[in-house]
Amino acid sequence: MHPLRIGLKVSQIATIDELEAVWKIADDAGFDHCWNMDHVASLRDDHRSDIFEAWTELAGMAARTTRTRIGCAVTGNTYRHPAMLAKMAVTVDHLSRGRLEFGIGAGWAENEHTMLNLPFGTAGDRATRLEEAVPIIKSLWTQPSTTFEGKHYQLVDAIAEPKPMQRPYPPIWVGGTGRRRTLRVVAEHADVWNAPGGTPEEIAELNGVLEAHCADVGRDSAEIRRSVQIHVARDGDRLEELITGYLAVGVTEIILTMARSPVGPAEQLAERLPALRALDER
């Protein structure tokens, strides 16, 4: 049985001072992990709002924290070639002395792809890219060289050194709720399934789909931790109720997401952390 772990997630629209303050709160208060998100344009109505790049931000988190685990929930696969993403992740894993949690998803923000002339395609296209990217990244992290011939990615004797500090590699979190393909990738490759939200009842139903995929690929579904993101601005008043409900359906990784002016909410959540941890009475 996996223990309850609780983390903070801060939007990239925060200022550098706010980001650094939240990282320090997460580290000092004993949160299990601290996360950012991955976008190149703001999700606000005004897309011109300031927003920082996710993986260079993670490098800063690595240098300014000592104990909390760090990650991106979740990296948009379509923004970077998987071989380059694998190299970036290894760098952050070493900078953090082995504290990286590797989050990845198929990507969804069409406007960002349009403005950068990145391939967007259909949801099926993005699912295929994710299906190819995750095994490429795992191979680069574990094998002397990688050759891969896919629809979207091709590698020939690709070398990726050094390997991650964590062996065989950092925990892989696959984000999304696609029943047919995303949850299949979770079953095949993930250490953690990360749902962007949903009621405990919805998570329980999707968990049944994941368990069926695990049976198909011959994997014990208990190996895979379940994670859900909770939006603090919307649901902060009922965290105890929600976390209790999620625990009852097998979720053990909670990410508390803060959108704007995150320092105050992070401080308040740090004060509530002992009481939230005490909810795990399984």
Q: Does domain 5-277 have CATH number 2.60.120.920?
A: no
pLDDT for res 259:
79
pLDDT for res 157:
98
H/E/C letters for each residue in 87-147? Answer: HHHHHHHHHCCCCEEEEEECCCCHHHHHHHCCCCCCHHHHHHHHHHHHHHHHHHHHCCCEE
Domain ranges across the chain: 5-277
pLDDT for res 109:
87
What DSSP assignment string belongs to 196-243? S---HHHHHHHHHHHHHHHHHHT--GGGSEEEEEEEHHHHGGGHHHHH
pLDDT for res 42:
74
pLDDT for res 282:
59
> Mind listing the pLDDT tens digit of every residue in the chain (282 residues)?
799 999 999 987 889 999 999 999 999 999 999 999 999 887 766 677 788 999 999 999 999 999 999 999 999 999 999 999 999 999 999 999 999 999 999 988 888 898 899 999 999 999 999 999 999 999 999 999 999 999 999 999 999 999 999 999 999 999 999 999 999 999 999 999 999 999 999 999 999 999 999 999 999 999 999 999 999 999 999 999 999 999 999 999 999 999 778 999 999 999 999 999 999 975
Q: Whole-prediction pTM value?
A: 0.95
